[in-house]
Structure 1
Amino acid sequence: MDNSNTLKSSSITSGENVSFWIDSSPIISGNNPTQDIQTEVLIIGGGIAGLTTAYKLLKAGKKVVIVEDGFIGSGETGRTTAHLTCALDDRYYFLQDTFGEEATKLAAESHAAAIDEIEKNVINLNIECSFKRVNGYLFLDPTDKEENLEKEFHATQKAGLRTTLLKGIPAMANCEKQPCVVFSNQAQFHILHYLKGMADAVISLGGIIYTEAHAEDITKKGAKVNGFTFSADHIVVATNTPINDIVTMHTKQHAYRTYVIAGKIPKDTLPYALWWDTGDQESKWVSQPYHYVRLESYDDQYDLLISGGEDHKTGQADEGIPESARYDRLEAWTRNYFPMLENDLTYKWSGQVMETVDSLGFMGKNPGDDNIYIITGDSGNGMTHTTIGAMIICDSILGIKNKWEDLYSPSRITLKTTGDFIKEAGNMASQYLDWVSGSDLNNTADLPSGEGAVLSSGFKKIAVYRDYDNSLKTFSAVCPHLGCIVHWNNDEKSFDCPCHGSRFDIEGTVINGPAQTDLSKIHIK
């Protein structure tokens, strides 16, 4: 794989802020498309989902081509915090109530198997990515009840997980009497170093990786990639959110923005571990945002404490707390529990999470298609959900019935979550009111350099960005996916769709699906 660094930043990562993983890794690039291609399996997306699927299929003897819009890991994989855990975003007692005890055992088993699969790849391919087995600690958010923690402990036991109930939280300040559930044998790694090893393995097995390769017009025959025809027997859409589907999957999951800070602590101050709280039970958001913390080795003197949380629906930060204040709140929360964090933060970034209404990912055949597969709905457990997805899809393409296939089927309907479905659908529908709302801006002269806004001009909604050279960039503010009005994200310098999570950079170029095309350019005086 080529490791060029002379590349535009919007292709390196999907936002203004650069994560620790991307900053500490060379850029992983492949070939550029130059001709029509025929292959057995076309994989769209070069993150952990796409690379894992490719590696497994290549080992099984399939011919595989990967196309990635940016560079390897430049999407949401490179903006994760890389927890490897079977402690899921939502509680096991919720899963048991929703799916039943046997299905919940399968869910627990699948996430544990995904961690094992990643560890096996690390060992077999000799990938240096700081993979470690660690304990994970689940503790109560102040809005949650102690009885719910005990309920979760018993639910995890029923699901077959190795958990214990402790009376204090290890290594957290002033938490000696706060109970927690310990999840044994969890893990962590450096995600971009892992992807480099996986990409090298894909190439060594005869796979082809194209980067800066934009796929569109996806059908059962293949896709158009930078204008060339890429034909395949099987198509895997591994792009965080499906770009081949107009409506169906976007009523089943919803895009959230999550925030991350990272700062140095003296080495050996804390044990390597994962910590999570149970989430804000009083949140306006269906997902009930929670906090999540881990360590990563930084240098000989320091470890990096990585802390995330303060989520909101994508494109809807203005409903309460602006993006910049999210980092401040996250820092205050983190320092309360981890006071050894140094004064100056080293990194901050945000990422996009697809939250499904019933908490489990959607991995398998796209509804209505026999040869198009999707991996989406990470629900905050992207590293394991995507690995499970790769295992399911590999089996499906090889004609093998996978025991987790039905549980994660993108066609499933979960009636017990109808209330949350209606709430999320109502939120989504309300965003179309932006068509009749006022402007962010009355006059472009009022727009500072390095900022954007949405301007009303008659019946038009115009996305405006003023560059640092004082020039204006102007586009239609209408998302080309399903017609919502985008909102300006001043933190990541992007225009974000509040309906389905599509995002566009300051050039109007699409950087997150489901939109496949850019914002159309508009000329204004």
Structure 2
Amino acid sequence: MNQENRPETDKNLPRRDGRNESLWQQSAGTDLHTTQQPETDTCDVLVVGAGITGLTAALLMQREGKKCIVCDAFQAGYGTTGGTTAHINTFADTTYAEVEQKFSEEASRQFAEAIARSVGTIHNLVTTYSIDCDFEWKDGYVYAEDEQETKELQDLYESALRAGVETEQVADAPAPLPYQAAVRFPKQAQFHPLKYIRGLQKEFLSLGGRVIENTLIDSVEKDGEYLIAKSGEREIKTKAVVYATHIPPGGINVLHMRNAPYRSYVIAATLKEDVYPEGLIYDSQDPYHYFRTHVIDGQKYLISGGHDHKTGHGDPEQSFADLIAYTSKCYPVDQVTTQWSSQYYVPSDGLPYIGHLPGTSDGIYAATGYNGNGMILGTVAAMVMSDLVVKGSSPYEKLFNPARVKPMGAFTEFIKENADVAGRFIADRFGIEEMESVKEIPADSGKLVEFQGQKLAVYRDKTGTVEALNPVCKHAGCIVNWNNSEKTWDCPCHGARYDQKGNVLTGPAREKLDRVAFPDLEAASAQKS
């Protein structure tokens, strides 16, 4: 099911930043309807973004006596939190071996400690507030299918032990395919991400916190001892701003250059036989695949993810087809009930960036670069930024400092990613196919075209109505590409995404794509056809 085709009775279910619905949207219940204007336009902390990072940080700070306001351009869970596969791990996509190599063994131990505290914090919040979010402890298994993967798995295992993470090599793992080696990580977990953050939101509100939805923060300016956040004509005066927006919005920041946007693909499927995995399962391919089971209303679902690629670069429909084919190779799939994709950012040196936003006034914080571990690292970010605001320091502020000097091992990746951005900025302006008629574009689809000497991003809906846009992204001037699965225009440089009408769905862009006068396009197309 996609959001456009929802029955009228489902219109109040949570929305996401694309056409495809996640399993979580279909089972989260109706919205909390907590959109409200604050009693005052002054607060201690303004949190921008109502995903797991923002709502966790807001709750932690509100508990410490800070008066917080949460603003979201849409609603809680609209972005990546509503599209995660909700694995809670004591290890991350950036392995402890990689952290040792690029930083140090001490940094690896600190990274492991922060992750362990994150897992503990999630469990503590669930139990303290009795949040009904299907939280379950699980064992996690990583397996290797060939010699190279086995060597990498051995590095993961040994470095995890050095970092103080509990793990063991096992001869019997619930892998869906033959394997050469496997390791087990006990005390992993899973939950329903939207039910979880709604539980956080409920407690935040009960403590006097305020949530303002459908409110885009346009800018933040320093004014004496306060920061003034503006949303249209509205102003909020605050002492601190926490950007929990997955990537800082606005003009080009150093963090935009140090993170690469990726799309990850997920399906939820029923199986012909009751062979649903009991644990969290990961292979060692690159990109890797991951599996788990979730029960909703008594029905078991296999959740399968993988086949990631850089945003705006790959073919989303092919990624879904490949994921379904691979999953069917591993498990007896009966029916794919839903499929969706989500966005994450890969940091150039492997660790997330959490702390003061470089190039901005004191009191402005941001977090990004979670790789594929948004639930645990989003919680780490909330803990770190809460400590920075409330206490003035965090034991992890140096490790995750956004202004840290990149280790030499990350320099090559930094150069490669930014060369790729420069290449897309230039190359994507050439070789665009000339269009004779808008009828060349299939219904409910979009295409980059050249029409009468003008480059356009054109979408044609199911009735034949056309929306024409200037394809130049409002963030850094790259050319957007059409995502036919999510029905969005995606920027291949820094991950900004727009809907068919050019409205911003996800940052870092703040402004919508320019619309090209439709009547001229329609008339010229009609004459040619």
Counterpart in the other structure of 1:366: 357
Distance 1:442 1:33 in 2: 50
User: Which of the numbers 234, 240, 243 marks the counterpart of 1:234?
Assistant: 240
Cα-to-partner distance string for 1:39-73 (whole Å, 9 max, x where unaligned): 11111101111100100010000111111111110
Aligned length: 504
TM-score (norm 2): 0.91
| 1:125 to 2:129 alignment | yes
- Is the partner of 1:65 in helix, strand or coil? strand
**Is contact 1:440–1:453 with CA below 8 Å preserved after alignment?**
no
Q: Show the counterpart of 2:169.
A: 165
The Cα offsets for residues 162-185 of structure 1, whole Å up to 9 and x where unpaired, read as 000112422x3343x531111111
* Counterpart Cα distance in 1 of 2:374 and 2:251: 20
Q: CA deviation at 1:439?
A: 3.0
Q: CA deviation at 1:459?
A: 6.2
Residue of structure 2 in register with 1:148 after alignment: 152
Q: Which residue of structure 1 lines up, in the alignment, with residue 481 of structure 2?
A: 487
Matches within 5 A, 1:449-488: 449-457=443-451, 460-488=454-482
**Superposed counterparts of 1:411-430, under 5 Å:** 411-414=403-406, 415-430=408-423
Give the residue type in structure 1 aligned to 2:510: Q
In 2, distance between residues paired with 1:144 and 1:516?
44
State whether residues 238 and 374 of structure 1, in contact with CA within 8 Å, keep that contact through their aligned partners in structure 2. Answer: yes
- Tell me: CA distance 1:454–1:33, structure 2 relative to 1, closer, same or farther (3 Å): farther
Aligned pairs for 1:73-92 within 5 A: 73-92=77-96
Deviation at 1:452, TM superposition (A): 0.7
Question: RMSD value over aligned CA atoms?
Answer: 2.1
- 1:15 equivalent to 2:18? Answer yes
How has the CA–CA distance of structure 1 residues 91 and 500 changed in structure 2, closer, same or farther, with 3 Å as cutoff?
same
The list of structure 1 runs, each at least 4 consecutive aligned residues, that deviate by more than 6 angstroms after superposition, is none
Counterpart CA distance in 1 for 2:327 and 2:246 is 28
Distance change >3 Å, CA 135–CA 37, structure 1 → 2: same
Aligned partners of 1:33 and 1:213 also within 8 Å? no
Structure 1 counterpart of 2:291: 293
Which consecutive residues of structure 1, in runs of 5 or more, have no partner in the other structure?
Answer: 281-288
Matches of 1:521 and 1:444, distance apart in 2: 16
Deviates more, 1:266-275 or 1:214-223: 266-275
- The answer to whether the aligner puts 1:184 opposite 2:186 as a matched pair is yes
Cα pair distance change 1:407/1:55, threshold 3 Å: same
- The sequence identity of aligned pairs, in percent, is 33
- Structure 1 residue 328 corresponds to structure 2 residue 321: yes
Is the contact made by 1:32 and 1:210 (CA closer than 8 Å) also made in structure 2? yes
**Which runs of structure 2 are paired with 1:178-217 in the superposition (5 Å)?**
178-217=180-219
State the alpha-carbon separation in 1 of the partners of residues 284 and 220 from structure 2. Answer: 39
Q: How many angstroms does 1:273 deviate by?
A: 1.4
Question: What are the Cα deviations for residues 184-222 of structure 1, in whole angstroms up to 9, with x where unaligned?
Answer: 111110001101111101110101101111111233423
1:338 is displaced (CA, Å) by 2.3
Where 1:360 maps in the other structure, the secondary structure is: coil
From 54, 58, 62, the equivalent of 1:54 is 58
Task: Report the Cα offset of residue 441 of structure 1.
Answer: 4.3
Counterpart secondary structure, 1:40: strand
**Deviation string for 1:107-147 (max 9, x for gaps)?**
01111110110000000111000111111111226583322
The answer to whether the 8 Å contact 1:441/1:453 transfers is no
Cα-to-partner distance string for 1:402-434 (whole Å, 9 max, x where unaligned): 111111111112222111112211211111121
Q: Tell me how far apart the structure 2 counterparts of residues 398 and 385 of structure 1 sit (CA, whole Å).
A: 20
The aligned counterpart of 1:310 is: 307
TM-score normalized with structure 1 length? 0.91
Among 63, 76, 79, the residue aligned to 2:67: 63
Deviations 1:460-515 (A, max 9, x none): 43211112222111111110101001000000000000110000001210001000
Q: Give the distance between the partners of 1:5 and 1:244, measured in 2 at CA.
A: 37
What per-residue deviation string (whole Å, max 9, x for no partner) do you get for residues 375-418 of structure 1? 21111000011111111111111134211111111111222211
Contact 1:266 1:303 in 2 (8 A): no
Residue 400 of structure 2 aligns to a residue in which SS? Answer: coil
The change in CA–CA distance for 1:492 and 1:174 in structure 2 (over 3 A counts) is: closer
Residue by residue, what CA displacement relative to the aligned partner does 1:343-385 show, whole Å, maximum 9, x if unpaired? x101100000111112211111101331111021111000011
**Is the Cα contact below 8 Å between 1:218 and 1:244 reproduced in 2?**
no
Give the C-alpha shift of residue 22 in structure 1.
Answer: 1.0
Choose from 23, 33, 39 the match for 2:43.
39
Indicate how the Cα distance of structure 1 residues 472 and 8 shifts in structure 2: closer, same or farther if over 3 A, else same.
Answer: farther
Aligned equivalents of 2:372 and 2:436: distance in 1? 38
Q: Distance in 2 between matches of 1:236 and 1:440?
A: 45
Q: Distance in 2 between matches of 1:451 and 1:35?
A: 44
- 1:275, distance to aligned residue in structure 2 (A): 1.2
Partner of 1:284: none
Q: Read off the aligned partner of 1:290 and give its amino acid letter.
A: Y
Asked if the contact 2:250–2:509 (Cα under 8 Å) also holds between the matched residues in 1, the reply is: no
AA matched with 2:490:
D
SS of equivalent residue, structure 2 residue 126: helix
Q: From the superposition, tell whether residues 440 and 328 of structure 1 become closer, same or farther in structure 2 (CA, over 3 Å).
A: farther
* Alpha-carbon distance, 1:264 to partner: 1.6
Q: For the structure 1 residues 463 and 34, does the alpha-carbon distance in structure 2 shift closer, same or farther, using more than 3 Å as the test? A: farther
Q: Is the 8 A contact 1:277 1:291 kept in 2?
A: yes
Q: Secondary structure at the match of 2:370?
A: coil
